[in-house]
């Protein structure tokens, strides 16, 4: 096992897939000479050249549309949208073309494209560069949505995404880029639709996404000192979603808290809560399901205000104490 950063794991996954399959290529704004806005693709231009590491114009519509076209004609593009906020500009080609092609052509067409989206707050990048819009994408039939939070998970899931014959939206948490973790030196992939129990517990279940997985784990350690045993689950893929693992955990603990950075209104937490209420876990609930999520406001530029707009460790601890 090697200890590397999250962004190094992303780079390794792309490099390994591009060496394995000549139809795989990378495209996006500043991914070549500059190495990407967050340094994720540094050095890849030197290895693979301009044909396979392509700097694009500043047009997310062009990036998404070209990726869909390349995918349906036999290539496997990895397209980077510099900030997930700009998926708004790419939505037509992603939602109305890429997500629909396999269905509209009766399964005869394949659309093996990956759209990488660095997302989330925590960098002082203000309202237009800090949003968490994953639930917009979860709502679209035909898209798979991945949200990995550790170097091990992000590498294994990205390799799976590249090999998938469907469009995959791959959300990378910006505040995880420099986090380190163990990653196998050999070949491995992680299947979609399999959640990971990051911490076993018996008193309350937390299902968290993105940076909230790490904050939930830190909260769980604080609560353990009070005798409260928290189980933390990372779904890793939002579509497909591993409902079975969550239901088993809720049956065991009798309590559920869903934690995500995105605004509470219309967020993924509401969908998860509905899934649990519509399952056999309902009869085992000892308390109402709680959601700890971002406030329904634009992300402020001021770092202190930014912290107040999204859940922090103390918010998670407070929610657990209330439900227990």
Residues 147 and 71 in one domain: yes
Residues 175 and 266 in one domain: no
Domain range holding 66?
A: 2-183
Residues 6 and 144 in one domain: yes
Report the distance separating Cα 199 and Cα 18, nearest Å: 34
Catalytic residues: 129
Residues 229 and 274 in one domain: yes
Of 154, 183, 212, which one is at a domain's C-terminal end?
A: 183
Beta bridge partners of residue 146, listed in sequence order? 170, 237
Structurally, the chain folds into a number of domains equal to 2
pLDDT score at 320: 98
Residues 9 and 136 in one domain: yes
pLDDT in tens, the chain (324 residues): 999 999 999 999 999 999 999 999 999 999 999 999 999 999 999 999 999 999 999 999 999 999 999 999 999 999 999 999 999 999 999 999 999 999 999 999 999 999 999 999 999 999 999 999 999 999 999 999 999 999 999 999 999 999 999 999 999 999 999 999 999 999 999 999 999 999 999 999 999 999 999 999 999 999 999 999 999 999 999 999 999 999 999 999 999 999 999 999 999 999 999 999 999 999 999 999 999 999 999 999 999 999 999 999 999 999 999 999
Q: How many CB atoms lie within 10 A of CB 12?
A: 19
Q: What is the CATH number of the domain that holds 255?
A: 3.40.50.920
pLDDT score at 35: 96
Strands annotated E in the chain: 2-5, 24-28, 53-55, 76-80, 114-119, 144-148, 168-173, 180-183, 196-199, 204-208, 230-234, 237-239, 256-263, 290-294
Residues 47 and 159 in one domain: yes
pTM over 0.95: yes
pLDDT score at 77: 98
pLDDT score at 315: 98
Residues 175 and 280 in one domain: no
């Amino acid at each position: 096992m090697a200890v590397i950063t999250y962004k190094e794991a992303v780079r390794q996954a792309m490099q390994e897939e591009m060496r394995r399959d000549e139809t795989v290529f990378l495209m996006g704004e500043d991914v070549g000479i500059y190495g990407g806005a967050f340094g994720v693709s540094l050095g890849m231009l030197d290895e693979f050249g301009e044909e396979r590491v392509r700097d694009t114009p500043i047009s997310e519509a062009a990036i998404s549309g070209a990726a869909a076209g390349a995918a349906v004609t036999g290539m496997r593009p990895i397209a980077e949208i510099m900030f997930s906020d700009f998926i708004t500009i790419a939505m037509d080609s992603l939602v109305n073309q890429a997500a629909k092609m396999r269905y509209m052509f009766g399964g005869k067409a394949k659309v093996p494209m990956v759209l990488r989206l660095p997302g989330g707050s925590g960098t002082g990048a203000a309202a237009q560069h800090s949003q968490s819009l994953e639930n917009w994408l979860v709502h679209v039939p035909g898209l798979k949505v991945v949200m990995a939070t550790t170097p091990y998970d992000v590498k294994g899931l990205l390799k799976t995404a590249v090999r998938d014959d469907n469009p995959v939206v791959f959300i990378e948490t910006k505040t995880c880029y420099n986090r380190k973790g163990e990653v196998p030196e050999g070949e491995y992939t992680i299947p979609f639709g399999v959640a990971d129990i990051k911490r076993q517990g018996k008193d309350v279940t937390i299902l968290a996404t993105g940076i909230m997985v790490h904050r939930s784990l830190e909260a769980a350690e604080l609560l353990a000192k009070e005798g409260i045993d928290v189980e933390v689950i990372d779904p890793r893929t939002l579509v497909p979603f591993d409902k079975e693992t969550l239901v088993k955990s809720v049956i065991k603990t009798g309590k559920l808290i869903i934690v995500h950075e995105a605004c509470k209104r219309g967020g993924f937490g509401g969908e998860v809560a509905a899934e649990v209420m519509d399952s056999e876990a309902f009869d085992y609930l000892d308390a109402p399901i709680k959601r700890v999520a971002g406030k329904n406001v634009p992300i402020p530029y001021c770092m202190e205000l930014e912290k107040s707009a999204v859940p922090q460790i103390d918010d998670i601890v407070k929610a657990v104490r209330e439900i227990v």
